[in-house]
């Protein structure tokens, strides 16, 4: 009898699993059918007209939220453009406008506008006027009536990465092609946008162009704006095949691949005899739509009932098993509406495979504990870095979820931006903006590359890292502790501006929470504060400690973990402390800098670094205080106490890098520390 019962239970379980599989299969089919032609909007840039944040009245904030909400909902039913105003000139008036690209309307226009309306408050907090661009739409708001006014400053230029083989001929052809598009948009059709393919002939091949103006302008204003943008191309992009130039009122884009989707318009038939056939076709189409809709509703309802039953059966199931979809929602300790919702655009695996040549070694940027990192590009040509979860990674799945949870909603110029993710066919991938200068470690710890890091650049990097950490600790929606700050987790953009990356070990606190304990100590030798390494106690102060170590490394150009192997025979912290006590702290400065640095600035930076690495966490400053101390030339700094002992072990040269990376691209969780010995 018991055996029969087991067989019945097994049969029931198998049937349930089969139903679940079919449910997901059908649901995936409908979702893929609906979204196959809907690429995700990619952030291009923003303009916060007020350089500093200001205190906005409650009335203005209310009107602003109403305007953004109206713009988001209106985009679903409009033809891709509209504007509104709420309030009066004397009572917190807010003027708002959205304009989708000419070939983007309906649901996807709304998706882009809704994304912009959500992000603009994060990119430009507490601003009375702001503009944000995506590759498919623009959104503006202001406390002044700008509707119908031409705005061509400021403007932005984005040269492509591909160099022209014949720059003179390329530029001449581009100028001719784009002038024809401008004429089409402003004179011939007066639609204020146009896109076209050009057969340039010879060795140049196919080219594609797009022009668009904000549709609150007249044709004359649009023509003026577009021609002003085109005039900037020879100055910024003369040697490139592709480029994009834009201002608040218009944009032009040109490249050698089709970055837009073609517009198809349906017109009424000229022949009345076709009406009958059209009616029959319409009737059949309606029938098919109704059947598909009913099936979709049944599938969704079945899935909903099943998941409600499963959730009531067990709330403690492991969310991160290989067979369970990754949860993209995070609600620490029941925060409710203040929780972090990490819904990300999904990028099709087929496109990622294509752009990385099926994860070819030639596209690999590096490899770490998380897995390999590849260079690729999105469908619009945007260069990206793609992190691929290694199937052999013991902790990679946790870290993957962590990255999605924490960085998806974090918006700051000193944090690397997460553009999307992909979870298909047992692949788990994160897609980041591409940082052309790779990691700080690649430059700082290489004798030749370090020569490019002048003192001015190093100060900019120090201040940028500090601002990024301040945002995580105090200004983001959650208090985020990075827990793995080091040179390889700081990336540099084309202008050598720093951006913090790798949030695989990050943890979040509630706003009023200060510290927490963990039995799982994760991090990198040489950067961990003693209270975290020895007791598992983490707060913002271990991040401050790591920043202090990194600050001293930037000044001296040497890695803390390899300092034992140098002629000094002691840790970087102890050596810096000894020089400070002897009044010889300038001996710490990288010899490559010679006399190019500012003496008082260096001394102040060393002083701040020693304050950050003090043994007692209570003595270390917060990042807000660090930023003030770095900026002020007159502020009296407290006397530092003895730095903490070095956490880790004496390592051989072969062990200097705990990463498997050959190209020094950042990785998540390079070291997992279980036994910590004081030195």
Contact 163, 240 (CB under 8 A): yes
Report the distance separating Cα 609 and Cα 177, nearest Å.
Answer: 56
Report the distance separating Cα 59 and Cα 65, nearest Å.
Answer: 10
Contact 211, 251 (CB under 8 A): yes
Which residue range is the domain that position 188 belongs to? 156-255
655 and 587 share one domain: yes
Give residues with Cβ within 8 angstroms of 50, minimum separation 6: 127, 128, 129
127 and 206 share one domain: no
Of 381 and 232, more confident: 232
424 and 447 share one domain: no
Q: Is residue 151 one of the residues assigned to a domain? A: no
110 and 197 share one domain: no
The residue assigned the tokens 């700050």 is: 485
CATH number assigned to the domain comprising residue 168: 3.30.430.20
With CA atoms as reference, report the closest residue to 640 among 663, 621, 627: 621
Q: How confident is the model at residue 341 (pLDDT cuts 50, 70, 90)?
A: very low
Domain boundary among 218, 235, 255: 255
Of 21 and 179, more confident: 179
A 10 A CB-CB count for 322 gives 8
Read off the pLDDT of residues 48-87 as tens digits, 9 standing for 90 and up. Answer: 755 567 788 888 988 998 999 899 888 877 778 999 998 8
Catalytically active residues are 484
125 and 168 share one domain: no
CATH number assigned to the domain comprising residue 593: 1.10.510.10
Q: How far is CA 568 from CA 469, 565, 577, in A?
A: 31, 8, 13
**Token digits of residue 605:** 């930076």
pTM (predicted TM-score): 0.49
Contact 427, 349 (CB under 8 A): yes
Among the residue ranges 11-20, 133-142, 542-551, the one predicted with the least confidence is 11-20
475 and 574 share one domain: yes
Q: Is residue 300 one of the residues assigned to a domain? A: no
444 and 536 share one domain: yes
The pLDDT of residue 165 is: 87
List, as one string, the DSSP characters of 487-498.
Answer: GGGEEE-TT--E
Q: How confident is the model at residue 149 (pLDDT cuts 50, 70, 90)?
A: very high
616 and 484 share one domain: yes
60 and 181 share one domain: no
**Residue 334: pLDDT over 70:** no
Report the distance separating Cα 186 and Cα 224, nearest Å.
Answer: 10
**Token digits of residue 496:** 């050598």
Read off the pLDDT of residues 638-669 as tens digits, 9 standing for 90 and up. Answer: 999 989 764 444 333 333 333 333 344 443 33
Strand 364-367 and strand 671-672: the pairing is unpaired
398 and 449 share one domain: no
Read off the pLDDT of residues 167-208 as tens digits, 9 standing for 90 and up. Answer: 888 899 999 999 999 999 999 988 898 988 888 766 778 899
Q: Is residue 2 one of the residues assigned to a domain? A: no
The pLDDT of residue 199 is: 83
Number of domain units in the chain = 4
Read off the pLDDT of residues 248-278 as tens digits, 9 standing for 90 and up. Answer: 899 999 998 887 764 433 333 333 333 343 4
The pLDDT of residue 325 is: 32
Domain boundary among 394, 412, 433: 433
The pLDDT of residue 303 is: 64
């Amino acid at each position: 009898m018991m055996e029969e019962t087991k067989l019945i239970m097994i049969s029931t379980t198998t049937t349930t699993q089969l139903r679940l599989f079919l449910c997901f299969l059908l649901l995936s089919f409908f979702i893929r059918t609906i979204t196959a032609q809907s690429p995700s909007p990619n952030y291009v840039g923003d303009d916060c007209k007020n350089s500093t944040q200001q205190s906005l009245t409650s009335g203005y904030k209310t009107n602003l939220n109403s305007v953004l909400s109206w713009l988001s909902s209106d985009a679903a039913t409009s033809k891709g453009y509209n504007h509104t105003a709420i309030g009066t000139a004397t009572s917190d008036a807010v003027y708002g406008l959205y304009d989708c690209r000419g070939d983007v309307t309906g649901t996807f226009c709304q998706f882009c506008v809704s994304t912009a309306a959500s992000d603009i408050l994060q990119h430009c907090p507490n601003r009375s006027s702001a503009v944000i661009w995506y590759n498919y739409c623009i959104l503006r708001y202001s406390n002044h009536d700008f509707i119908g006014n031409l705005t061509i400053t400021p403007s932005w230029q984005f040269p492509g990465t591909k160099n022209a083989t014949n720059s003179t001929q390329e530029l001449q052809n581009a100028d001719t092609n784009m002038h024809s598009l401008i004429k089409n948009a402003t004179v011939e059709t007066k639609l204020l946008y146009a896109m076209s393919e050009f057969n340039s002939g010879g060795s140049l091949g196919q080219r594609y162009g797009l022009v668009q103006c904000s549709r609150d302008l007249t044709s004359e204003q649009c023509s003026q704006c577009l021609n002003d943008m085109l005039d900037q191309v020879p100055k910024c992009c003369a040697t490139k095949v592709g480029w994009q130039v834009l201002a608040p009122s218009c944009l032009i884009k040109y490249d050698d691949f089709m970055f837009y989707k073609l517009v198809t318009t349906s017109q009424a038939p000229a022949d009345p005899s076709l009406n009958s056939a059209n009616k029959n076709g319409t009737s059949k189409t309606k029938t098919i739509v109704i059947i598909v809709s009913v099936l979709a509703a049944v599938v969704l309802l079945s899935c909903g009932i099943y998941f409600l039953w499963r959730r009531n059966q067990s709330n403690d199931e492991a969310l991160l098993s290989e067979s369970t979809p990754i949860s993209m929602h995070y609600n620490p300790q029941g925060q409710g509406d203040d929780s972090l919702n990490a819904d990300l655009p999904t990028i099709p695996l087929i496109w990622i495979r294509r752009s990385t040549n099926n994860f070819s070694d030639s596209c690999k940027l590096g490899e770490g504990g998380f897995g390999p990192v590849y260079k690729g590009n999105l469908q619009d040509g945007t260069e990206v870095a793609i992190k691929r979860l290694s199937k052999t990674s013991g902790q990679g799945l946790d870290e993957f979820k962590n990255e999605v949870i924490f960085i998806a909603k974090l918006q700051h110029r000193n944090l690397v931006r997460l553009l999307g993710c992909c979870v298909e066919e047992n692949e788990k991938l994160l897609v980041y903006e591409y940082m052309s200068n790779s990691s700080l470690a690649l430059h700082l710890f290489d004798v030749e590359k370090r020569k490019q890091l002048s003192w001015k650049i190093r100060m900019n990097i120090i201040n940028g890292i500090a601002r990024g950490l301040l945002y995580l600790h105090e200004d983001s929606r959650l208090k985020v502790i990075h827990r793995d700050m080091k040179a390889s987790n700081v990336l540099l953009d084309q202008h050598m501006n720093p951006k913090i990356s790798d949030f695989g070990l990050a943890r979040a606190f509630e706003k009023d929470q200060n510290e927490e304990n963990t039995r799982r100590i994760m991090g990198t030798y040489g950067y961990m504060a003693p209270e975290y390494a020895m007791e598992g106690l983490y707060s913002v102060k271990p991040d401050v400690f790591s920043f202090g170590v990194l600050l001293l490394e930037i000044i001296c150009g040497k890695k803390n973990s390899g300092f034992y192997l140098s002629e000094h025979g002691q840790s970087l912290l102890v050596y810096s402390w000894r020089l400070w006590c002897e009044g010889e702290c300038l001996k710490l400065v990288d010899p490559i800098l010679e006399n190019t640095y500012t003496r008082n600035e260096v001394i102040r930076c060393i002083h701040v670094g020693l304050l950050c690495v003090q043994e007692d966490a209570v003595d270390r400053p917060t990042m807000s205080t660090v930023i003030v101390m770095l900026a002020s030339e007159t502020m009296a700094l407290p006397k530092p106490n003895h730095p903490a002992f070095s956490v880790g072990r004496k390592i051989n040269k072969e062990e200097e890098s705990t990463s498997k990376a050959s190209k020094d691209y950042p990785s998540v969780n390079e070291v997992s520390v279980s036994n910590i010995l004081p030195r």
